[in-house]
Amino acid sequence: MPAQKSEEPQRTEASLAEAGTGTGTETTAGLAPEVTTGAGVTGATGAAGVTGTTGAAEVTGPAGVTGTTGGRADIKMLPEPPGLPAPLPEPAVSELRLETVLGALSDPLRLGIVRKLLLEAEAFDHTCGWFGLDRPKSSLTHHFKALREAGITRQRQYGLERRSHVRVADLNARFPGLLDLVAAWTPPTTD
């Protein structure tokens, strides 16, 4: 019996906008699918990372991460320097789960860590001492481990210290717009 061809028309960004759905995928021979959300987030996903736009500015994948994302806050994305140690165990992009990521971000301290890495990074990755948190080392180790195991941050061991950075391209590929929300979050003021 011959295989039946799908009669479903290709859905382009323009047709999605006309239909008012604002979501969908389109694949062109050999190219990664393009993802568009109602928030105006567009990008191509694939093994090499994300190339496209999120909000107001351009994003390029991990090989040459450039630019900023979103119109609300400038997410700093510094290029990966050569000769880095291998990352500690972490979930693959396809294994990232929204409930796990949101669970890790539900703690205000961890949310603040990710926000600071996104907006104030001075180098590609940072030690826990850079954050200036007044917490016991065991507590900070727990929080950084929770972020890594959720797939939010990538950690590398440099001798006796671990350094972290946010997996921007991976998270934008899997959950477009999530990091823009984290960057736009305003920490509560302490009186």
**pLDDT tens track for 2-55:** 444 444 334 333 333 333 433 333 333 333 333 333 333 333 333 333 333 344
What span, in angstroms and rounded, lies between the C-alpha atoms of 96 and 121?
23
pLDDT at 169: 95
Structure-block tokens of residue 45: 């996903």
Q: Where are the domains of the chain?
A: 13-184
Instruction: Please classify residue 171 by burial: count the beta carbons closer than 10 Å to its beta carbon, then call 0-12 exposed, 13-18 middle and 19+ buried.
Output: buried
13-184: what CATH class? mainly alpha
Q: In this model, does residue 133 exceed pLDDT 50?
A: yes
Where b means 16+ CB within 10 Å and e means fewer, 133-144 reads eeeeeeebeebb
Q: Which residue bears the tokens 């990966």?
A: 80
For helices 98-105 and 137-150, give the axis angle rounded to 10 degrees. 160
Structure-block tokens of residue 179: 């990091």
Residues 6+ apart with CB under 8 A from 161: 127
Report the SS3 class of residue 171. Answer: helix
Q: What is the pLDDT of residues 113-132, one digit of tens each?
A: 999 999 998 889 999 889 99
Beta carbons of 53 and 43 less than 8 angstroms apart: yes
